[in-house]
Structure formats: structure tokens, C-alpha cells
Chain A
Amino acid sequence: MASLVAKDAGKAAAQPGLGNVAFIAALIVAAVAIFGVTRSIGNSYAFFAAYVVVQYIVLGTAWNILGGYTGYVNFGITAFFAIGAYSSVVLYKLAPWLPLPVMVAVGGVFAALVGLGTGYLTLRLRGVFFSIATLALAVVVQTLITNWDFVGGARGAYVLRPRLAPLIGGDYIQYLYLLMLGLGVIVLATARAIERSALGYGFAAIRDDEAAAEASGVPTLRLKLIATALSGGFMGMAGAPLPYYVTYLDPSSGFSLNYAVNAIAMPLIGGTSNWVGPIIGAVVVGGLQQYISVTISSAINVLITGLLLVIFVILAPQGIVGLFLRKKR
């Protein structure tokens, strides 16, 4: 899959702005700086809160690769996210000595394969029918996990988190946070590379008119499968560290509606047209949620997200990024 993307990316047109390598370097610098800032707060809650925001950047960007770029709205986010999380639970039980990044990679591969499989079965459906099929996927996966005793079934599973972070020292949450920042770099670099490549143009053509895309030589099914596999894989990677973050994972928390709502709402609020949108959405909405959880109540989060979503869909359907682009034109 990666070679396919690379091959298409090679055909990309020269575009203004940073090249892909320079962009990745910039992202890494930004991630390190953000980590430094979070560490300077000197409070371990800051890591827990920032982890969630970065997790939503990853999740929102992953959703946007399929939903924003190709226009296929996936409601089955929790299926992919939980596959990542539960693959870590399985690996924790079978091979607890595996380093967490390896678990993340495995979770990503599993979720990508499920993405590929469901894509193959459902991508002949369009519009709302595809969305309903993905919703069904989430229900199916949740039912399977709930009845799978090895990973704790409905009782849930405990994961003992090491007390200290490897390599960097300090609390283990710092390591989880750093890992999630790393995933953020990978996902954002991929999303931006797609946008600037032939692949991105192909995705846009599919979103705008699938029949015309086919007539223009775009292999629509293959591209949609690439999109579902990448999108699902990244969602799985976002979910893989979750058992270590929560230390107790049960189906109702792994498949929480919050993940699905936020992963869709954040790109929509930020803007789905490019990679900046999900970041803005995750930082604004995720930041607000974290702030409100502390100051008011954590139960009001979904209400806030819902209200913001309604406001944006009505007043700024292109999201925050769209507002700025419109001003520029």
C-alpha cells in the first residue's frame, strides 16, 4: 500500500510551499516543542489532557482522509479505533514485553486490513448507504469484542502500565503522549502528501463526481480502497495506546460514542478541505472539552460538540479553514 502511495506521489506536480521532507522536519520540530511546553507545565494532568487533544488530531485526520478527501462519510470510527485498542490488549496478554510502538504498528495493520475488507464489501454503496454500512460495522465489531472472553468480554481488561517512561524518564504518561505526538507527525505528513499528490487529485475527483472520475481514467475502486485502508489504519493506530492510557478497557469505553462524534465533528468544524482543518478542530473543540471537564463537568462535552457542529454546519459549512480561505479570495 505504501508503495502505491509513493508511486502516485511521485507523479505529483511541483507545488509551492515546503517539500514533504522539509514538512516532516517542521512537524517534528513542532512536536518536540509542544512536548517541551507540556513538560514545562510540570503537572501530569497536562499530559493526560494534551494526549486526548493530539489523539483527536490523529483520529480526525484519519477520518478526513476518507470522509473529507473522497467524500465517503464513515460512521464506524469506533470499530477501527477499538480494533487498535483491543489488538494492544491481545498483545499485552500474549507478549507484554513488546515495545508499545510495535503494538501500535500491529494495531494499525489490523485496522487497515479491516478497512480494506469493509471497503471492498461496502464501497459499491454510495452516500448515506455507505455510512449506514460503516455504522453496522461498528455494531458488529463491538458485539464480537463483547463476547470475546480472552480480551475480557463485557467485564473489560486491565493493563498494568509501567510506572516510568522508557527512554525519556518521568511518568509513563509522558511516553504515551510522546508516542501520540509521533503518530500525529506521521498522520499529518501523510495527509498533506496525499493532498499534493496525484492521489489527492484522484480522491477529489471521486468526491466531486465518481462517474466523471472513471471516465477520466481514475481507478475509483482502487483509490477508495487505499483511502479506507489508510483511514482505518490510522484510526487503529490512534486507538492502540488507549489500554495503557486508561489501564482498564471495556467495550463501552473503547466503543464510546464520543470518539465517533468527535472524530467527525472536529474535521467538520475545522474544515475538511485540507490537513489544517482537523488540527484546528481538534485543538479548538478538544481543548474546550478538556477545559470544561475540569471547570464545569465532563458530561457536558458531547453537548458542546453537538452545538458547535450544528452552528458550523449552518453558518460555516466549510469549517474554520473555509472562513479564512473565503476571506483570501
Chain B
Amino acid sequence: MSALLHVEKVGKRFGGFVALQDIDLEVQPGERLGLIGPNGSGKSTLVNCICGTLRNEQGSVRFDGAAMDALTAHQRTRLGLARSFQLPRPFGSLSLAENLRIPILYAVNARSGRRHLSGPAIEERCRELLRQVGLAEKAHRLPRDLTQIEMRKLELARAMAAEPRLLIADESMAGLSHAEVDEIIALLIRLNGEGVTVIMIEHIMRAVMEFSQRLAVLVAGRKIADGNPRDVVRDPEVVRAYLGE
């Protein structure tokens, strides 16, 4: 089976700073991949390069066999790549339900050969998504009324609203309580069960270990490990990166 996401030799610099170097990563359809690494190791930059928010100077990104490098972020989203932002970026003047309406109107409805959701169906879908992340009661509130934690849930719901084939959750669980982490893991595993491939970027190791079928580790812009989560966390190089010599 060919990979759904194929990242090959991707490199990204910010001026003289090398943020990513020679990153190779394959994600199979239906897989649950965990991506970890210390702060500043390039995880979010990699997500940005995969999703088109940033352009990688070197290497290439292929999604479902098609080259993504010339495509804008919105084109990639329409093809089925969706991501949540690490620092929540809600649409501040729109209610929570309207926040979710944007990807439904512009990603889901823009796909060719698909049913177009209209008025009541869109509202129902927004409610359903908000229910899944536990924000149903606040559907008509503005993002500024939310706590940081709720904003992370909104981020995740907005990415899910695009009905992606590959969902990248960038630290969706930071700051969440134990029970909430379990909820989000269950939600992501359920999505995965419905056929969505998921990449989870996370610092909470409990969540990572519970969720991931495979684990990749970035350190200082390089991938230093990739494989079975239990083996990877025992890898001496990974241990050294996290705990020092």
C-alpha cells in the first residue's frame, strides 16, 4: 500500500537558523502517528510545511500520491489535509458555530463530486462537532468567552469540520485535565476508526503512548527516531535528547 503522506528530504531555514533538515516521513492510510520532540525541535514548522502555511525550501511533500509543493494551504485543506494550530487562532468576530461553518463552506462544500451541505445541514453538523468536543452549550458565544483549554478544543473541532483524510493535531491537549485528555484521545481514536489518518503532536507522554501506533522523534530539526513507540522511548539517542547526557 502506498503512503498517504510522503515527506521527502524536507528542509526549512529561517535566515541562518536551520529549522528542519532532511526530514523523511511516511504515514500510511489509517495510521496513528505520534510526533514528539523537545520545544523548538521543529515539530510545528514541519506541520506548517506539510500544510502549506510555510513553504519548505528543500525536499517535497506528497499527499495521496500528488505533489503538494506548488499548492497553497487552502488547496491542501480541500484535498484532505487539516491541522489545528498549536496556539489557537479562532475567528474572533464569529461565534463558535460560525467558526466551524468556515471549513464546511470552504473545504467540505468546495470538494468536487460531493454532496453540498446547505443551511440546516450545516448548522446540524456544527452542533454535532461542538458536542463532540464538549462545547455544545457555547455554540453562539464568541471565542473571547472561552478559556484557553476550550479554545484548543475549538481548534480541534475546526480542523475536524474540514472532514480531512489526514488530521494533524498540534498540541491539542496542553493544559487539559486527566479526564479531558482521555476524552480527546477517545475522540481522535474514534475519528481514526472512521478512516481518518491522524498525526498527533504532543508533550503529554501518557497520551502519546496510549494513542500512537508509531512514534517519530524530532530533535533540533532532524528526525532521530521513528518506529514502535515502546522501542523509540527506550532509544538511547531519544533519552539523551530529553534528559541530557
Q: Which residues of A approach B to under 8 Å, CB–CB? A: 11-15, 198, 201-202, 204-205, 207-209, 211-221, 273
Q: Cβ of B77 and Cβ of A216 under 8 Å apart?
A: yes
Chain B residues near A15 (CB-CB < 8 A): 119
Chain B residues near A221 (CB-CB < 8 A): 72
A205-B91, A216-B77, A217-B77 known; A11+B102 contact, CB < 8 A: no
Chain A residues near B51 (CB-CB < 8 A): 215
Residue of A nearest to B161 (CB): A216
Q: Cβ of B73 and Cβ of A201 under 8 Å apart?
A: no
In the bound complex, CA of A158 to CA of B106 (Å) = 49
Residue of B nearest to A15 (CB): B119
Q: Cβ of A213 and Cβ of B102 under 8 Å apart?
A: yes
Tell me if B158 counts as interface (CB < 8 A to partner A): yes
B106 CB to nearest A CB, Å: 4
Q: Cβ of A13 and Cβ of B73 under 8 Å apart?
A: no
Q: Cβ of B74 and Cβ of A220 under 8 Å apart?
A: yes
Chain B residues near A207 (CB-CB < 8 A): 93
In the bound complex, CA of A243 to CA of B120 (Å) = 49
Q: Cβ of A215 and Cβ of B91 under 8 Å apart?
A: no
Q: Cβ of A211 and Cβ of B89 under 8 Å apart?
A: yes
Chain B residues near A219 (CB-CB < 8 A): 72, 74-75, 106
Residue of A nearest to B82 (CB): A215
The listed residue (A13, A208, A212) touching B123 by CB distance below 8 A is A13
Tell me if B34 counts as interface (CB < 8 A to partner A): no
A13-B122, A14-B119, A14-B120 known; A217+B103 contact, CB < 8 A: yes
Q: Cβ of A11 and Cβ of B116 under 8 Å apart?
A: yes
Q: Cβ of A217 and Cβ of B93 under 8 Å apart?
A: no
**Residues 58-82 of B at the A interface (beta carbon under 8 Å):** 72-75, 77-78, 82
Overall SS of chain A's interface:
helix
Overall SS of chain B's interface:
helix
Residue of A nearest to B110 (CB): A217
Q: Which 6 pairs between the two chains have the least Cβ-Cβ distance?
A: A217-B107, A14-B119, A217-B106, A214-B73, A208-B91, A13-B119
Q: Cβ of B93 and Cβ of A201 under 8 Å apart?
A: no
Tell me if B171 counts as interface (CB < 8 A to partner A): no
**Residues 97-133 of B at the A interface (beta carbon under 8 Å):** 98, 101-103, 105-110, 116, 118-120, 122-123
Q: Cβ of A212 and Cβ of B91 under 8 Å apart?
A: yes
A13-B119, A217-B74, A219-B74 known; A201+B90 contact, CB < 8 A: no
Chain B residues near A198 (CB-CB < 8 A): 105-106, 109
4 further A-B contacts with Cβ under 8 Å, apart from A208-B94, A215-B73, A219-B75, are A11-B105, A13-B123, A214-B72, A216-B106
Q: Cβ of A212 and Cβ of B109 under 8 Å apart?
A: no
Tell me if B85 counts as interface (CB < 8 A to partner A): yes
In the bound complex, CA of A198 to CA of B98 (Å) = 11
Tell me if B10 counts as interface (CB < 8 A to partner A): no
Chain A residues near B15 (CB-CB < 8 A): none
**Residues 20-37 of B at the A interface (beta carbon under 8 Å):** none
Q: Cβ of B93 and Cβ of A208 under 8 Å apart?
A: yes
B146 CB to nearest A CB, Å: 14
A201-B105, A208-B94 known; A215+B110 contact, CB < 8 A: no
B75 CB to nearest A CB, Å: 8
Tell me if B92 counts as interface (CB < 8 A to partner A): yes
Residue of B nearest to A206 (CB): B91
Chain B residues near A220 (CB-CB < 8 A): 74
In the bound complex, CA of A208 to CA of B89 (Å) = 9
